[in-house]
Amino acid sequence: MKSVQMKSVHVRAPGGPEVLSLVERAVPSPGPGEVLIRVAAAAVNRPDVQQRRGLYPPPPGASVVLGLDVAGVIDRVAPDVDWPRPGEAVCALANGGGYAEFCSVPAVQCMPIPKGFDFVEAAALPEAFFTAWNSMVWLGRLDHGETVLVHNATGGVGLACLQVAQWLGARRGSTCAFSIRSGTRPRPISPNSGRSSRCSRRRTS
């Protein structure tokens, strides 16, 4: 029986964005504990860029297709999955494979799209906020009234950490750096934000 095909992004060779092209691949089937998402939007993460450049091989068992963050609608689920259900809109952290029309993802790595978010906005959430929540809440046990210092707070994960800490009622401190050569300067932080910031200069050659 001929497999159902989909379009996905293929990396022809290590390099810049010009090495990307659309190819036909078989639609993946969700394995145990997995769901199949009809992808509406996918985010660009640093591992995607590094993998495209040939500097970050996919981990064993991960898809060779780029894409870690996706948002879309559940197409079908494995028999052992209770949530999410077909037809539900979700965003998810994929083990690769997000730059395609369909992506198979562990159900536990899905979350509902927050109210007021569209698919494009929701696709930017999972990698940053799953990492922030896992590191500060599950592992760090950060609680109300405690203090957390977030390094490199201008990146996606750093900003997510500050927002999670604010939601928890923790005191926030942050650090960042900017390039003298690029002329990029840090934006001032509102005194009402409840956090402090220290930025250092970094000279680039």
Task: Give the model confidence (pLDDT) of 155-183 as tens digits.
Answer: 889 999 999 999 999 999 998 876 555 55
User: pLDDT tier at 199 (50, 70, 90 boundaries)?
Assistant: very low
84: amino acid identity, one letter: P
Is the pLDDT score of 109 beyond 90? yes
pLDDT of amino acid 146: 97
Q: Where in the chain do CATH 3.40.50.720 domains reside?
A: 128-202
Is the pLDDT score of 44 beyond 90? yes
Nearest CA to 23 out of 9, 42, 40, 41 is that of 9
pLDDT of amino acid 182: 55
pLDDT of amino acid 189: 46
pLDDT of amino acid 180: 53
Q: How many CB atoms lie within 10 A of CB 43?
A: 22
CATH of 5-120, one of 3.90.180.10, 3.40.50.1000, 1.10.540.10, 3.40.50.300: 3.90.180.10
Nearest CA to 19 out of 47, 52, 45 is that of 52
Rounded to whole angstroms, the Cα distance separating 152 from 171 reads: 17
Residues 6+ apart with CB under 8 A from 17: 52
User: With respect to CATH, is domain 128-202 assigned 3.40.50.720?
Assistant: yes
Helix intervals (H) in the chain? 46-52, 119-123, 126-133, 156-168
Q: Express each pLDDT in 5-15 by its tens digit.
A: 999 999 999 99
pLDDT of amino acid 192: 41
Rounded to whole angstroms, the Cα distance separating 148 from 173 reads: 6
165: amino acid identity, one letter: A
Phi/psi of residue 13, nearest 5 degrees: -165, 160
Rounded to whole angstroms, the Cα distance separating 106 from 62 reads: 12
